[in-house]
Structure formats: structure tokens, C-alpha cells
Structure 1
Amino acid sequence: MRIGFRTAKTVVAVVLAIYIANALHLKLAEFTGIVAALLLKNTRKETVVTAGKMAIAVLLTLAVDTLLFSLLGFHVYVIGLILLLLIPILVRTRTERGLLLGTVVTIHVYTAGHLDMDILLNEIWLILTGMTVSLTINWLYMPSRKERLLNIHRQLEMTVADVFDHFARALEEKDYLWDGAEILTIHNLIQQGKKEALLHEDNYITSDDVLRFHHFEIKEKQYERIKHMLALVSRVDQVIVQGKMLASILRKMSAALRSGEDDFHRIQEEIRALRETCEDMPLPKTRKEFEIRAALLQMLNELEGYILDAV
């Protein structure tokens, strides 16, 4: 059976936290293992935020424990009163994630049967030890998602290139049929890329990583243009010379995406040249030809917009 990366990290964190707590001669050292396990999150940012909230929750718990146990004594019903008072406080301070740790801390204090500075410091050191181990392990051993992001980006470019090739064939062949499955693939890849980019950003806060997420936001805008182009190409049910000229540009766009070379400036020039050429051509003779040429012109505008979105 293969052990996952997160599982391995959890095992190491729990064992190491307990080992360190024992080395520090802390009472109830095993509790540090629970703290360490609870704090191992998917990203460094989430781990730090959770650690902060749990630390505040534990301090609030110790304050409530000190107050009620001192006033009412060490009785089981006092634990219930502490939780009744503690829960709304944690919710109000948005630290309810620390309720489990707070409950365990309260039971520790109750089990001790008395309250003094040694007990309070012991609980604080238990929490700090578990948190420090988890934060350290997550900081040192967090897998990079750059390779995944690069793969998603490459798949996305290849799929868009396929779509442009399909558009070109539809303009060149009157009865060309295409199921449009790549359109859904593009949507799924963009959503997957945004998710991975956000996780990556929460682990490596640099301008480069922010740009990675922004890249997929741009792709989302371009996706809307591709969907519009799909609707437009479906209206072109005749092969005309302007359509063949646009198909040639679409194929060059596809080739640029496949090669990964930034050849878009030259394609922009060809788009402008084609627009000028179409303006100099004779006017449509029929309503049908007018509608087809109008759809082709809109496609040309969307293709230019697709390029400009990435600039």
C-alpha cells in the first residue's frame, strides 16, 4: 500500500511533537501529537492562519477555565458551563476551529484538580510545541505545484489550438461536423488551473505566483470569446472567400499556440490587413451573404480581442 505525502507528514509531525514534548518533560506530552495533526493543512498560509486562531482559542479557554474553576470548584458540571460560555466567545472571535483543543485543555485542567501557574504554562508549552512542529514541517516540506500548472497551461494551449483548427475546417468545408467537446475541456482546465494556482499562491507568495492565477483569469476571458466564436461559426453555412482567408489566420493562430512562440503581433497585422481587404471587396449581393460576412467579421473581431486579452 502506497503512503500519501500528507499521511507521511502527519506521522512525522505527530511522532516528532510527542518526542520533543517528552524531552521538555511536559506532562500529557501526547497532546502535542493531536495539536500537530490538526494543524497540518494543504497550504502554508492555511496552516499559519489556523495556528493563530487555535492559539487565541486556547488562551481564551485558559482564561475561562481559571475564572469558573476558581469560582465554582472542580466539578463535572463546570466543564459544561465552561463550554457554554466558551463556544459563543470563540464564534464571536472567529476562532471556533480551536474548540476541540480548548475542550481538551479544559479536561486537562479538570483532571489536575487544581489550577496554578505550572499547569497553565504546561498547557501553553504543549500547544506551542505541537504548533511549532507542524509549522516547521509544512514550511520545509510543501510540494510545489509549478509542474502541474505548467502541464495544465500546456494542455490548455493545445486544446485551444485544436478548437481554432476546427473553426478553420468549418469555414473551409461546407458540411464539416464537430461535436465541440474541446470547449468543455477548456472550461475544466481553466477551473483546475485556477484552483492549483490559488493553492500554489498560498504556499509561495511572490509576484510570479500572483501572475499565475491572473493568467488563468485571462484564459477565462478568452474562453468567453471562444464560445462566442463557436456561435458565430455555426452561422456560416457556406464557403466564401472571406471565410477561407479567416481560416488561414486561424490555422496560424493554432500553430503559434502549439509552438509556444509569441507570434501574435504578426497575426494581429494579418487580422488588420484582412479587415481592410474585406472593406475593399464588393458589397454582398444577397441577404444570406451579408449575414455570413457579418458573422465572419465578428469572428475576426473576437480573434483580435482574444490576442489583446493576453497582452
Structure 2
Amino acid sequence: MKYIYNLAFKMSISATIALILANILNVQFSTVAAVIAILSIQDTKKKALIVGRNRIYACIIAIFLSFLTYKFLGQSPITFALFLLIFIPLTSRFNISEGMVPAVVLSTHLFVANEITSYWITNELLIMIIGVGIASIANLFMPSLHKQFEEDKAYIEKNYRLILSKMSKSLLTYAVDRDEKIIINNLEKRLNESIDRAYKIANNNLLKSDSYYVDYMNMRKNQFDIIKKLRSHFEKFYMSFDQTHMISKFTKNVADQIKDTNDCRDLLEELENIKKDCKRMALPKTREEFENRAQLLQFLNDMEDLLRIKRNFILTYNLDNNKK
């Protein structure tokens, strides 16, 4: 059953069925229907719907324009060039460029016909309908990516916890683990793949618009950018203060609470209390101490951005649920 979701399998089956059906209906140039079916196979339902619609529009315009051009100006290379000069800009103007090549092929059939009659116009329409129609049916069979999405979420949250836990230790030791760069690189690659899968899930839902999957992954990607900023601060840390221990403990607390349902409200309140405590502490006595404490404060501000990104995401979807 899994083969039905494979693009190559769907292309081959769609082309074969389109060719058989075209032959049964005695359609001339029946192989073109098979080619159109192959070109119309897409990786999401919404994309397939848009591409199929655009190919139908483009083919109808091409057939109508070909009839006018060849009927009244004759069938010559010059009239074919004139047809292209008019048709190609039209596909760009109406944003239906996906249908340009198949439509031009249909036009060539009319170009070589001895006489453009209703038979040939019907023939070209049947080629288009069979090719796009068979592909549209095949495009209804799309794999469910929800399980992979949940696996992506678990992987991302696990590695966010791991990285922040390492940061918590690094604040006190000034040492960065050797494997941390590998973890971050692998995580960035998985994030990009996860965003792509999230878009596919959203675009496979024809009945309603659901941006949760895309919004969630974009939220995690924004957090990842903040994590890289947090890591950059460690190049300038070389002194330890009471604030360092407070922020290290808080960072570990954030790491432990990385999960889908956490709204970050308690963590943000804890962060504000840490800021107030830092203000009550003695001022730095040396330039070096001032610079390091300023860097710690910036680290804390970036941590706040990390939490607010998640907080805003949760609030947005709570509001959506209330509307429902």
C-alpha cells in the first residue's frame, strides 16, 4: 500500500492509465495525455490542485488562440511564432506558466492538422482532460506526515533541552563541549526538513486552512536563531559572579521545561525576579567585571526573547481555540 504514495509509482501508473484511456477513446497523439499526467503529479494536494487548474486554463487559452491564429493567418512558422509571442506573455500575465509547455504541444497538433475542425479541438480538449484528470485522482493519495511531525517535535525539544543544559554548565566552567557544534548543525538540518514537512501537511489539507504545523516549526526555528545568539556570548565569558550562578540555575530550569505545552509564564516571572535581584547587587568594580556582567545581562535578555517567542505562540493558539 505504501507504493501508492511514491511519486515515481504514481507517475508511471497515471501515465499508463491516461494512455490506455486515450486509446480507448481513439484520441490522436494519445501519448501526450500520458506526458501531461506525469507532469501533473505533485507532492501536495493544494499544489496539485493549483497546477492542474493552471494547466487547464493554459490549454483552453492555447486552443482558442491557435484556432484564431492558424484559421485566419494560415499555418506557417511565422504564425506559430506569432502564437508564441502572444501566448507566452499571457501565461505569465495570468500566472499560469505551469501549463505553458503542455499547451504549446497541443497547439502544435492544430498547427500540423490539415484543417482545424471541431474534431481536432475536441481531441486536444480530451488530451488535456484525461492527462490532468487522471493525475488529479492520483494526487488524492498523499502520505500522512503527522507521525513524522511528532517525531520532529520530540527530536527538536530533546536537543533544545540538551543544548541549554550544556549552556548551564558552560556558564560555570567557561568550557564548551566538543560535540555541541555537531548537535547544533544536525539540529539545524532537521529543523529545515521539519519546516518542509510542516508545509506539506498544511498543503495536503484541502478542506480547511491549518497553519499550526508551519507556525510551530517556524516558532522553533526562531528559537534556534536565539540559541545560536546565546552560544555566541560564551566567547566573552571569563569571569564568574553571583549572577552567573543564578543565571546558570535558571538556564537549567528552562532546559528542563522545554516541551510543547509549556506557556513559559512561570519562567518569564522567574526571569524578571532574577533581573530585580541583579539590580540590587553591588556594582562592578573593574572594567573587566563590568564587561562580563553586561554580557551576562545580554544573555539573560536573549533568554527572555527565547521564552517570549514560545509564549506568544501559545497565546495565539489559545485565542484561536477560544474563537472556535
Distance in 2 (CA, whole Å) between partners of 1:206 and 1:167 is: 44
Distance in 2 (CA, whole Å) between partners of 1:290 and 1:208 is: 51
Write out per-residue CA displacement over residues 229-254 of structure 1, whole angstroms, 9 at most, x where no aligned residue. Answer: 22333322123332122211212222
2:270 maps to 270
2:192 maps to 191
Write out per-residue CA displacement over residues 125-167 of structure 1, whole angstroms, 9 at most, x where no aligned residue. Answer: 221121111111102x112332333333222222222221221
Distance in 2 (CA, whole Å) between partners of 1:16 and 1:136 is: 11
1:44 maps to 45
1:298 maps to 298
1:33 maps to 34
Residues 263 and 198 of structure 1: is their aligned pair in 2 closer, same or farther, counting only changes over 3 Å? closer
Q: Please say which of residues 233-242 and 259-268 is displaced more in the overlay.
A: 259-268
**Cα distance, 1:169 vs. partner?**
1.3
1:210 and 2:201 matched: no
Residues 278 and 110 of structure 1: is their aligned pair in 2 closer, same or farther, counting only changes over 3 Å? closer
Identical pairs, percent: 20
**Cα distance, 1:33 vs. partner?**
0.9
Residues 129 and 280 of structure 1: is their aligned pair in 2 closer, same or farther, counting only changes over 3 Å? same
Write out per-residue CA displacement over residues 75-113 of structure 1, whole angstroms, 9 at most, x where no aligned residue. Answer: 566545544543344344443433332332233234441
Distance in 2 (CA, whole Å) between partners of 1:5 and 1:130 is: 18
Per the normalisation by structure 2, the TM-score is: 0.82
Distance in 2 (CA, whole Å) between partners of 1:60 and 1:31 is: 18
**Are 1:46 and 1:202, in contact at CA under 8 Å, matched by a contact in 2?**
yes
Superposition pairs of residues 14-29 of structure 1, within 5 angstroms: 14-29=15-30
**Are 1:197 and 1:209, in contact at CA under 8 Å, matched by a contact in 2?**
no
Distance in 2 (CA, whole Å) between partners of 1:147 and 1:306 is: 26
The one-letter code matched in structure 1 to 2:177 is W
Q: Please say which of residues 184-193 and 60-69 is displaced more in the overlay.
A: 184-193
The one-letter code matched in structure 2 to 1:177 is V
Residues 46 and 33 of structure 1: is their aligned pair in 2 closer, same or farther, counting only changes over 3 Å? same
2:160 maps to 160
Write out per-residue CA displacement over residues 255-293 of structure 1, whole angstroms, 9 at most, x where no aligned residue. Answer: 222x66627344334323333333333333333333323
**Cα distance, 1:74 vs. partner?**
4.9
The runs of 5 or more residues in structure 1 that have no matched partner are none
1:307 and 2:307 matched: yes
Distance in 1 (CA, whole Å) between partners of 2:242 and 2:190 is: 34
1:243 maps to 244
The runs of 5 or more residues in structure 2 that have no matched partner are 312-324
**Cα distance, 1:62 vs. partner?**
1.6
CA RMSD of aligned residues (A): 2.9
2:151 maps to 151
**Cα distance, 1:37 vs. partner?**
0.8
**Are 2:46 and 2:206, in contact at CA under 8 Å, matched by a contact in 1?**
no
**Cα distance, 1:124 vs. partner?**
0.8
The one-letter code matched in structure 2 to 1:55 is I
1:63 maps to 64
1:171 and 2:171 matched: yes
Distance in 2 (CA, whole Å) between partners of 1:158 and 1:84 is: 56
Per the normalisation by structure 1, the TM-score is: 0.85
**Are 1:156 and 1:186, in contact at CA under 8 Å, matched by a contact in 2?**
yes
2:288 maps to 288
Distance in 2 (CA, whole Å) between partners of 1:20 and 1:144 is: 30
